Amino acid sequence: MTQYALGIDIGGTFTDIVVYDATRGASSAHKELTTPAAPHRGVITGIRKLFDAQGIACKDVSRVVHATTLFTNALIERKGAPTGLITTAGFRDTLEMRREHKYELYNLFMELPRPLVRRSLRLEAPERVGPDGKIEQPLDMDALLAQVAKLKAAGVASLAITFLHAYANAAHERAARDAIRARHPDLFVSLSSEVAPQIREYERTSTTVANAYIKPLADSYLDLMSSEIAKLGIKAPLFMMLSNGGLTHIDEAKRVPIQLLESGPAAGALAGSTFGLRSKARDVLAFDMGGTTAKLAIVEDGAPLIAYQFEAGRAQRFMEGSGLPINISTIELIEIGAGGGSIATIDALGLLKVGPESAGAAPGPACYQRGGTAPTVTDANLVLGYLDAATFAGGTVKIDRELARAAIAPLAARSKLSIEDAAWGIHSVVNENMAAAARVHVAERGHHAGDFALLATGGGGPLHGCEVARRLGITRVICPPSAGVASALGLLMAPARIDRVATVACRLSEMNDSNWRAFESAYAKLEREAGAVIARTLAKKTRVTVERAADMRYVGQGFELVVALPRGPYSARSLTALRAAFTAAYEKTFGHVPPVGDIEIINIRVAASAPVAKGELKVASGKRGARGELRALKGKRRAWVGARERYEQLPVYDRYKLAIGAAVRGPAIVEEDSTTLILPPKARATVERSGNMMVNLS
């Protein structure tokens, strides 16, 4: 019996549904406009349409994987649950005091993100635990419950508890939770010792509060999604994509939903890594442009970079330090306010600006015929002839060229440009916005963009990818099959993965036999915890791979490097290997190693992973045989050629009819259901055996 895997990726504009048949190595996809008020409706509608079109029975689905931007949006838009915070007495204002750091040193009016919990809902409880884990002042339970009662009366639905040094001893936090649950069973509770069990009070508090803020929303949404999918007749388990590029089961996702914040972009980065390797490109920039935002992830030596902190809800989109720090493991990427729905405006200086405001899914770009009137990137692309109104988004959304022209006309008049020149301006400005952000991101990590290939995915990635690559000095662009729904495909490529962290704070020079035993025991505990979650996720015996790392620094330094460590178990004989791992990472990052200096380990980390599906996900377009360029030619369309600043009749090819080995020379247009590839003059695209289209821009 055929078994299908189902991927569901809810974006700001479109909800992507992908179903994969492992027997045939074939996938089918559908794009449905996202329904922001009730995201599950778009999902269910999309599944029904796709399954009806492909003749798939719901009972034949064996796996469902889901990613969503819902929780990220709730943080950014401040639409989470009414949340309270209880801290150790004296630490009520940690969220507002933040760090002694100004992201704009000379800006006297610098804007900082508002705390998710206002001061009146931040209360204190008498208790104290020392950094060594010793209880210095017992928790006053009566005082704690009195504070909780005040918060409950103020309408709080979710509560964050962050006690000082709870990472060293969580006894007080756990006792507080048990007492609160007994007295107020309907109150959601998040503990810092479970959400972010590591040092640094502000970051730990910020992460725990953010988790509490979205926890009620996550709990109800995940229950609803599970129920609605089951009503369709799908009995398969529902997995959730985590920000670290792995999957987990629903209960773990509900326990710490903050892990889901970057789930969709993480899936896109995984797809970038997988498809890049199929073209023998180990270093790629995974560029995913959707309807609302564009994302870029660095894939180095075949794997996306992992970060252990990121910022949500930045006051200034590109300013590090202007957002809420979130301590979770996540695939490192940048998000750029540039998508198909990005709105074009003229600023006070008469300059053309595009984004970050977006028309989203409701009302959407003007050409969607849903009431939107603002000119957007999609409207510009339609006017330029890059999109086919009849086949856009696989025919699921009807778009109107005249409405697009009407939306751009006022902007063109104000700029004293023709509508066509204004449309090309919008297209060019958004390309430069994305290229500039990518250039900085790559440079900050010590790389040159020209050393990478650009892998373009998302509905807008292939549309803009070649031009963005040219601006970055990149000569190779990879367009995988089903590029428009690559993030949803990435969900089906992901392994089960769980990350765990603990603070140990020890100096290597002071380690004795007892310390080494405790050190190894701490790692073993994290591995058991992570392994238990993996086992529950997969519900079957499978080979679990465990990677160890540590946050290390020279004594006296303020911050650490995350260093990959050799496999355990550790003992006194491991000292040389740990030193060598740190000094190698230090030299790679900073270019030199100090001649002397004691090394200390602050946090230890474990990443446990296991494959979810058997074998490799095979997605191909094109068949062996004749090259098929002529067979794939659909006709010609009048489209703007930017390099020549004029409209020309460009050949339009059907991606599905291009055989392996087929070559297309630019300028040309290559269409598939979920996206369109625009080839500039002098470019040459070849269909590889893997199904990828490799574009050589030189």
What is the pLDDT confidence band of residue 145, given thresholds at 50, 70 and 90? very high
Is the pLDDT score of 302 beyond 50? yes
Is the pLDDT score of 44 beyond 60? yes
pLDDT at residue 478, as a whole number: 96
What is the pLDDT confidence band of residue 317, given thresholds at 50, 70 and 90? low
pLDDT at residue 72, as a whole number: 84
Retrieve residue 241's tokens.
């994509």
Q: How many CB atoms lie within 10 A of CB 536?
A: 14
| Coarse DSSP helix, strand, coil percentages of the chain, rounded to the nearest 5 percent | 35, 25, 35
Residue 17 forms beta bridges with which residues? Answer: 8, 30
> In the Cβ-directed half-sphere of 451, how many Cα atoms lie within 13 Å?
12
What gap in Å lies between CA 355 and CA 341, rounded to an integer?
Answer: 8
Q: Evaluate the CA torsion angle 650, 295, 16, 489 in order and state its sign.
A: positive
pLDDT at residue 642, as a whole number: 86
Q: What is the pLDDT of residues 643-657, one digit of tens each?
A: 888 999 999 999 989
- DSSP label of 102: -
Retrieve residue 545's tokens.
């791979």
Strand-strand pairing, 83-88 and 158-162: parallel
What gap in Å lies between CA 269 and CA 416, rounded to an integer?
Answer: 41
In the numeric block, the tokens 């969607």 are attached to: 368
Is the pLDDT score of 620 beyond 90? no
Residues found in the chain: 698
pLDDT at residue 124, as a whole number: 97
pLDDT, mean of residues 84-96: 95
Q: What is the pLDDT of residues 65-88, one digit of tens each?
A: 999 888 888 888 888 999 999 999
| DSSP, residue by residue, 162-192 | E-TTTTT--HHHHHHHHHHHHH-TTSEEEEH
Is the pLDDT score of 10 beyond 70? yes
pLDDT at residue 604, as a whole number: 97
pLDDT at residue 339, as a whole number: 86
The conformational region for residue 164 under phi > 0 = left, psi -120 to 50 = alpha, else beta, is beta
What is the pLDDT confidence band of residue 194, given thresholds at 50, 70 and 90? very high
Alpha helices in 26-140 (DSSP H): 39-54, 70-76, 94-97
Lowest-pLDDT choice from 29-33, 118-122, 442-446, 612-616: 612-616
104 three-class SS: coil
Q: Are 211 and 190 in contact (CB under 8 A)?
A: yes
Q: Are 684 and 664 in contact (CB under 8 A)?
A: yes
Q: Is the bond leading into 667 cis (omega within 30 degrees of zero)? A: yes
Q: Evaluate the CA torsion angle 53, 55, 56, 59 in order and state its sign.
A: positive
What gap in Å lies between CA 136 and CA 89, rounded to an integer?
Answer: 13
385 three-class SS: coil
**Mean pLDDT, all residues of the chain:** 90
Q: Compute CA distances 128 → 87, 149, 168, 200, 369, whole Å.
A: 10, 21, 12, 16, 60
Q: How far is CA 38 from the centre of its chain?
A: 21
pLDDT, mean of residues 224-247: 93
What gap in Å lies between CA 613 and CA 493, rounded to an integer?
Answer: 8
What gap in Å lies between CA 487 and CA 35, rounded to an integer?
Answer: 19
Lowest-pLDDT choice from 105-114, 291-300, 344-353, 680-689: 105-114
pLDDT at residue 643, as a whole number: 83
What gap in Å lies between CA 37 and CA 343, rounded to an integer?
Answer: 21
Residues near 19 by beta carbon (within 8 Å), at least 6 away in sequence? 4, 5, 6, 7, 27, 28, 29, 50, 51, 54, 56, 61
pLDDT at residue 622, as a whole number: 41
Of 691, 617, 697, nearest to 659 by C-alpha is 691
The conformational region for residue 529 under phi > 0 = left, psi -120 to 50 = alpha, else beta, is alpha
Q: Compute CA distances 423 → 374, 400, 571, whole Å.
A: 13, 15, 65
Selected residue with higher pLDDT from 394 and 247: 247
Specify burial of residue 654 (Cβ count, 10 A radius: 0-12, 13-18, 19+).
Answer: middle
pLDDT at residue 445, as a whole number: 82
Of 140, 108, 110, nearest to 124 by C-alpha is 140
Q: Are 690 and 618 in contact (CB under 8 A)?
A: no
pLDDT, mean of residues 328-348: 88
Of 82, 66, 315, nearest to 187 by C-alpha is 82
What is the pLDDT confidence band of residue 624, given thresholds at 50, 70 and 90? very low
Cα dihedral value 679, 621, 458, 421, nearest 10: 20
